[in-house]
Amino acid sequence: MSRLTVDGEPVVTKLAMRMEDSLQAFAVRSACFIGELDVPFSEEFDGHDFGATHIVAYIGEEPVGAVRLRWFQSFAMPERLAVIQRFRGHNIGSVLLERCRLQAMSRGCNMLYCQALPRDVGYWEKQGWRRLVPEEEGAQPKRIVAMVKAVDPNKPLPEIEAPEAVVLRREAQLDSTGMPHGTVSN
Ligand SMILES: CC(C)(COP(=O)(O)OP(=O)(O)OC[C@H]1O[C@@H](n2cnc3c(N)ncnc32)[C@H](O)[C@@H]1OP(=O)(O)O)[C@@H](O)C(=O)NCCC(=O)NCCS
């Protein structure tokens, strides 16, 4: 539970356990990504939401922020971090990311990994993340930057086995059954 307050009201984070909670996360994301940042619906809701953990930040009853956490073999991946515009400037994003870290720790996961837009790299660095691969001087600007953070600050990250090109590969598009396109099902 966080101790952050906004105008004297505590900011509380909760795991979405009921459909209603997930809908609150989706509402926050719709406002921020689709409404504010012009992300197409199909990109925002990409078929991975029902296999993910959603964390919602509340002030009183109001959902003010959300993040989605996906689980991979060797890392947990926070995505879709968003705080409703009028509630920004209070570090609510940071509280949501800290909840992701604690959630990963409780599952025995050692590494957090995310894919950031170049314009947001500064934000992730402020939150204690670093680039998976150090920036090369004079290299072409990247479309997406892979970033990592140790779940336990006292335990250095394990060797990262997958090269960046593998970690950043495009994920399969899902068909209506939820299987990657082209998968033969029985
Ligand atoms: C990213 C986001 C969740 C942060 O919201 P927030 O918790 O209210 O963040 P704050 O405004 O309190 O900023 C926290 C710190 O990060 C800094 N920061 C915020 N956005 C930043 C960015 N894009 N690049 C670098 N620094 C940034 C702030 O200056 C502040 O620094 P300070 O503590 O030294 O003053 C929010 O801006 C958002 O919802 N954006 C739209 C959705 C989005 O782009 N998500 C992508 C995830 S990064």
Binding site membership of 28 for ligand 1 (Cβ less than 6 Å): no
Are 82 and 55 in contact by the 8 Å Cβ rule? The answer is no
Binding site membership of 126 for ligand 1 (Cβ less than 6 Å): yes
pLDDT tens by residue, 96-149? 999 999 999 999 999 999 999 999 999 999 999 999 988 888 888 889 999 999
CA of 177 to the centre of ligand 1 (A): 36
Name the region of 44 (left: φ>0; alpha: ψ -120 to 50; beta: rest): alpha
Q: Which residues contact 132 (CB under 8 A, 6 or more apart)?
A: 113, 146, 147, 148, 160, 164, 167
This prediction has a pTM of 0.91
**Taking 80 as the threshold, does the pLDDT of residue 160 lie above it?**
no
Domains and CATH numbers, the chain: 5-167 (3.40.630.30)
pLDDT tens by residue, 29-45? 999 999 999 999 999 99
Minimum mean pLDDT range among 12-21, 38-47, 93-102, 151-160:
151-160
